[in-house]
Each structure stands twice: as structure tokens, then as C-alpha cells.
Amino acid sequence: MNKGRKKLPPRRARKIVARGTPARWEVAWHSKALDEKSAIDDVAERVAIAHVIEKLEVDGPALRSPHQSAVMGEEGSGLRELRPRRGSRWRPIYRRMEEGLFAVLAVGPEAGIDKAGYGKAVRLAKQRLKRLEKARAKE
């Protein structure tokens, strides 16, 4: 039936990226968030965080669930959390600062494992964000 026709490989799903978006997004770490990440004893967890950061660098705001989600509650408005892998205990908390730039502001435990620790990480992220915005306003 298909004599003479070349069999084409199956189409892969293509990600649509809006025009004018950077080819690669920059992810900057707040120095204290970097310290929090470095304090994680489990090497596999740190590697998983590095991988999800790479995904954020490539996909930017197009990164979808399950790799990220909004931080819930009034305290977390405007913040997002990265989900390194299924079962991960850690959540880097970040925010888009400007076109092409994200800032990781804190790293805390997953809310289902340590709700108080997660709440503390969100509060720290908000405080650090305010300081960053204040410093940028002075420039």
C-alpha cells in the first residue's frame, strides 16, 4: 500500500517558545540559599537540585508541573518552588526577577515533611527578595 513512500519517524512533541525569549535563562543563587543547598548532606538530593535548575535554565517560565509550582498562601505570593524529583525532601524557592533572570532565594524542606521548616524558608525568601529589590532600587 505504501509502495515507494518513505516511512517517516514519529513526530516528537515540540515545545513552543515565545518569540523574543532568551535561548537560555540565567539562574542566580542568593548566597545564603547557596549555603542552604550546600548544607544538604545527601549527594543525590544536591544532584537532583542541579538537574531541576538546568531545566529552569533551558525552559524558563515554560517549565511546567511537576518540576515547579507556585508557593501557596499569602506569605508565598509571587514565589515559586522547584521540585527536584519525586520524593525529594528539598524545595528551592525562586522568583523571576526580570526578563531572562531567575533568583533562587532559599532552599527549604518539602512542606509535607516539615511544614515549619518550609514556612521558615518561604519567610527567608521573602526577606531576601525585599532586600534585593531595595538594593536594585538604589542603583
pLDDT digits (tens, 9 = 90+) for 28-79: 999 999 999 999 999 999 999 999 999 999 999 999 999 999 998 777 789 9
Would you say the C-alpha torsion 118, 97, 82, 57 has a positive or negative sign? negative
pLDDT attached to residue 14: 47
Q: Give the start-to-end residue ranges of the domains of the chain.
A: 26-138
Segment 79-118, tens digit of pLDDT: 999 999 888 999 999 999 988 899 999 999 999 999 999 9
d(CA 68, CA 81): 6
The fold of 26-138 is YaeB-like fold (3.30.2310)
- For 91, 93, 103, 107, the CA distances from 96, given in Å and listed in that order, are 16, 11, 6, 16
